[in-house]
C-alpha cells in the first residue's frame, strides 16, 4: 500500500520518529512517504495515512490539527493511525493525552493512537520554550525508545497487509 506518514515536528525529534516508521513500512513491503502536514494538499495518492505530532503545552501542533480540518473526509475514508510524541524524563512525563486527541480520533476514524516518549534539548529552544521547561522542571535528554516505535510500525504494516488481502477478496 502507499502510505503517507505526515509528521508535525518543531525541533526534529518527532520527524525522526516518522522517518523510522516510514522505514519500517518500506522494509515491510509498503511504499511510504514522510511529509510535513502543511505540505499535504490531498490524499488521493495514498491508500492509508499515519499522522503524528509533537505535543506542546498539552496540544498537538497547529499544522497537524489543520490537516485534520482540511482533509477530514479523505482521512475518514482511509485506514488512519495516529501518534504523539512528547513526554520526557524517567519515567516519561507528563502523562495524559493531547487535548484534541478524542476529537481527532472520532473525526478520522483512526484505528489506533500511540504516545511515544520524546527528546528535550534545551540548547535548541527559544526563550519562551525554556521558561516553560524550567517551570515544569522537564528533564533534558532523548527518551525515544526505537524498538517500541519500530514494533508499533510493524503492527501497522501487518494491519495494512491484512487490509490489502480484505480489499482483494472484495474485488473478486
Ligand atoms: C515549551 C515546551 C512545552 C512542552 N509541552 C509538552 C506537553 O505538554 N506534553 C508533553 O508530553 N511534552 C511536552 N513537551 C516535550 C516535547 O513534546 C518533546 O520535547 C518532543 O520530543 C518535541 O518534539 P519535536 O522535536 O518534534 O518538536 C514540551 C516541550 C517544550 C519545549
pLDDT digits (tens, 9 = 90+) for 47-64: 999 999 999 999 999 999
The reply to whether ligand 1 has any atom less than 6 angstroms from the CB of 124 is no
Residue nearest to atom 16 of ligand 1 (CA): 86
ipTM over 0.85: yes
pLDDT of residue 169: 84
Residue nearest to atom 18 of ligand 1 (CA): 86
Residue nearest to atom 12 of ligand 1 (CA): 86
pLDDT surpasses 80 at 172: no
Q: How far apart are CA 167 and CA 79, in angstroms?
A: 12
pLDDT digits (tens, 9 = 90+) for 4-32: 999 999 999 999 999 999 999 999 999 99
C-alpha 56 to ligand 1 mean position (Å): 5
Contact 81, 112 (CB under 8 A): yes
pLDDT digits (tens, 9 = 90+) for 112-164: 999 999 999 999 999 999 999 999 899 999 999 999 999 999 999 999 999 99
Only one residue has cell 478520522, namely: 108
Only one residue has cell 498537538, namely: 60
Contact 28, 154 (CB under 8 A): yes
Sequence ranges of the domains in the chain: 2-171
C-alpha 141 to ligand 1 mean position (Å): 12
The domain 2-171 is placed in CATH, from the list 1.10.10.60, 3.40.630.30, 3.40.50.720, 3.40.50.360, at: 3.40.50.360
Question: Is residue 77 classed as helix, strand or coil in its secondary structure?
Answer: coil
pLDDT of residue 49: 98
Element housing 82 (H / E): strand 80-85
C-alpha 157 to ligand 1 mean position (Å): 27
Amino acid at each position: 500500500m502507499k502510505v503517507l506518514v505526515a509528521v508535525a515536528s518543531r525541533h526534529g525529534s518527532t520527524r525522526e520518529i516518522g522517518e523510522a516508521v516510514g522505514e519500517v513500512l518500506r522494509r515491510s513491503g509498503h511504499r511510504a512517504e514522510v511529509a510535513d502536514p502543511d505540505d499535504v494538499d490531498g490524499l488521493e495518492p495514498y491508500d492509508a495515512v499515519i499522522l503524528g505530532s509533537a505535543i506542546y503545552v498539552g496540544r498537538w501542533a497547529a499544522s497537524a490539527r489543520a490537516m485534520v480540518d482540511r482533509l477530514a473526509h479523505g482521512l475518514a475514508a482511509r485506514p488512519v493511525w495516529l501518534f504523539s510524541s512528547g513526554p520526557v524524563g524517567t519515567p516519561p512525563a507528563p502523562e495524559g493525552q493531547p487535548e484534541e486527541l478524542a476529537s481527532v480520533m472520532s473525526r478520522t476514524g483512526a484505528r489506533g493512537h500511540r504516545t511515544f516518549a520524546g527528546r528535550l534539548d534545551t540548547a535548541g529552544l527559544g526563550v519562551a520554550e525554556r521558561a516553560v521547561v524550567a517551570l515544569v522542571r522537564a528533564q533534558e535528554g532523548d527518551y525515544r525508545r526505537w524498538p517500541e516505535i519500530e514494533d508499533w510500525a510493524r503492527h501497522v504494516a501487518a494491519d495494512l497487509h491484512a487490509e490489502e488481502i480484505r480489499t482483494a477478496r472484495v474485488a473478486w
